[in-house]
Chains A and B, each alone.
Chain A
Amino acid sequence: MALTRRQVESIANLARLQINEDEIPAYVRNLSRIIDFVDQLEGAGTEHVHPMAHPLNMSQPLRADEVTESDDRARFQANAAAVEAGLYLVPKVIE
């Protein structure tokens, strides 16, 4: 199925990806090609097949709700572009 330019722009927006104007035709072409390729799944007979979410059919383990991590905030925030007083800085959200 060929995707339209508008669809590609809408997908990019959902994925929060800035796509430059001049790159859009290539994304339209390549994503259409990929979707076309995966569309062949449609023909597979899977009527009574149970979907496989996990290769080992494991159940998720549980653990006691205890504090196990120490406070490493300063260390983690060393990787952030903008912090102040232990807080991450972002552009103003509410005027």
Chain B
Amino acid sequence: MHTRTLAELGDALAAGEMSSEELTRHFLTRIEALDPRLNAFITVTGEAALEAARAADRERAAGRAGPLTGLPIAHKDIFCTDGFRTSCGSRMLDNFISPYDATVVRRLKSAGMVMLGKTNMDEFAMGSSNETSFYGPVRNPWDLDKVPGGSSGGSAAAVAARLTPAATGTDTGGSIRQPAALTGTTGLKPTYGRVSRYGMIAFASSLDQAGTITASACDAALLLEAMAGHDPRDSTSVDAPVERYADGLDRSLEGFRVGVVEEFFDEGLYPASAAAIETALDVLRSLGASVKRVSLPNLALSVPAYYVVAPAECSSNLSRFDGIRFGYRAENPRDLADLYKRSRGEGFGAEVKRRIMTGTYVLSAGYYDAYYLKAQRVRQLIAEDFRAAFAEVDLIAGPTAPTPAFDIGAKTDDPVTMYLNDIYTIGVNLAGLPGVSVPCGFADDLPVGLQLIANHFEEGRLLNVAHMFQQETEWHLRMPGGEFA
């Protein structure tokens, strides 16, 4: 049953082919057998899952089932889950039992979904390889020596290996799309503000957005419909109607204009990945779309601008971890300053500390204008580039990541090399746009992702194009072989 998509499993439940309890048991058995190889889960919530599955079966028997009732899902461990540990991949929150549900978790729960557990991630979502987690690296099911990408690496690896049919993720600079690309899954990052951030542990508040990792664009549409919408508890969540995304998936692409960003095809793009992208563009042409070149001249500045804005916001957001109200507390502090410093020094890992210090530096007296204000101006330039491109085309297409999955440990020596992994994804976050990565081929036997980017709130169009692409191709149906088959 695990080879089916979420939508197909929903049909099977509706047809009475299986119960949610059977389905849930099947995935829990897979997690138990295979997750020791991947380390994709930090916490498995088996008993609660079976209880929720039985409740979903009762709802169905009573004629109250919706499209997601009884379907399993895993949540990235950045989303607060009432009564369960929410670690954010950090020693700092290893002992934190959330007293409430994130809005995303609450909405999917009330749609009848069954939580299988919490997935591994880069510590506080800071990383592109899932190697900064306190709980150890996640392995890529396509090749266990490779990273799955990050920061939503556990969610991506779990969906790729079908330890869960779907998972939530968060994307601040590419943390849904890049791991989706590296694991052959479909990763959707909605428009900034489309999905509530309430209960989603904050990293960089002007960039963070919740989304999904699934086996298909159709599955992403089903989940987004349930997750999206205004939430009075998140003042940046947008009060705009939520489309019925699943209803618009089959629209024709005749006359549709796709822009290919010149700057994406630079010397940093791995040739075999570039070839897969070119083939994918031909598929879009065959579906009736016209493809033309567009330019984002300030793209190269997006990574440095991001590495000012994101660390600045992180240094402020993570100041709440003080060893007093929740989280890790150092033993036998000499005084209050010692309590703060040692709780934070011992509770945070190296990459998180680097980002907090970078942020503290760029915000410190005398440097604010040169760094933070300058980066916000550059951010405006990048957003203007996208505005100009969307005056000419309906959608932008290109690679998600410069290379396929790399070796575990290959990029941990130099933070900047790791940061440059996100060169194609970061601009989307700076501009607040929606983007999706869909599998579009292989390079060196590893999955390659095609990134599609739409204008603000055009998730419907984005998923429509991704779905039509998946109707013509079968890359998204490929699964890692061997023990994961």
Contact = CB atoms under 8 A, between A and B. Distances in A.
Contacts of A88: 324-325
Interface residues of B, number: 74
A85 interface: no
B375 interface: yes
Interface string B84-127: 00000000000111010000000000000000000000000000
B373 interface: yes
B346 interface: yes
Contacts of B301: 40-41, 44
Contacts of A79: 95-97, 99, 325-327
Contacts of B344: 15-18
Interface string A13-46: 1111111100100010011011101111110101
A12 interface: yes
B432 interface: yes
Given A31-B354, A33-B416, A38 B430 contact: no
A92 B336 CA distance: 7
Interface in B306-342: 307-308, 315, 319, 322-327, 329, 333-342
B378 interface: yes
A44 B360 CA distance: 23
Contacts, number: 171
B133 to A, nearest CB: 19
A55 B335 contact: no
Given A17-B345, A49-B380, A56-B432, A78 B97 contact: yes
B91 to A, nearest CB: 14
B364 A14 contact: yes
B357 A91 contact: no
Contacts of A90: 324, 336, 339
Interface in B366-384: 370-371, 373-381, 383
B444 interface: no
Interface in B419-463: 419, 430-433, 456
Interface in B274-306: 298, 301, 303-305
A51 B206 contact: no
B267 interface: no
Contacts of A19: 345, 353
A67 interface: no
B266 interface: no
B79 interface: no
Contact of A76 (B99, B238, B303, B364): B99
Given A44-B298, A52-B380, 20 more contacts: A7-B361, A14-B364, A15-B360, A16-B319, A17-B356, A17-B357, A18-B342, A31-B361, A33-B414, A35-B358, A41-B301, A41-B305, A41-B375, A49-B380, A51-B373, A56-B192, A81-B329, A88-B324, A91-B336, A91-B339
- 3 smallest beta-carbon distances between A and B, as pairs: A55-B432, A18-B345, A51-B376
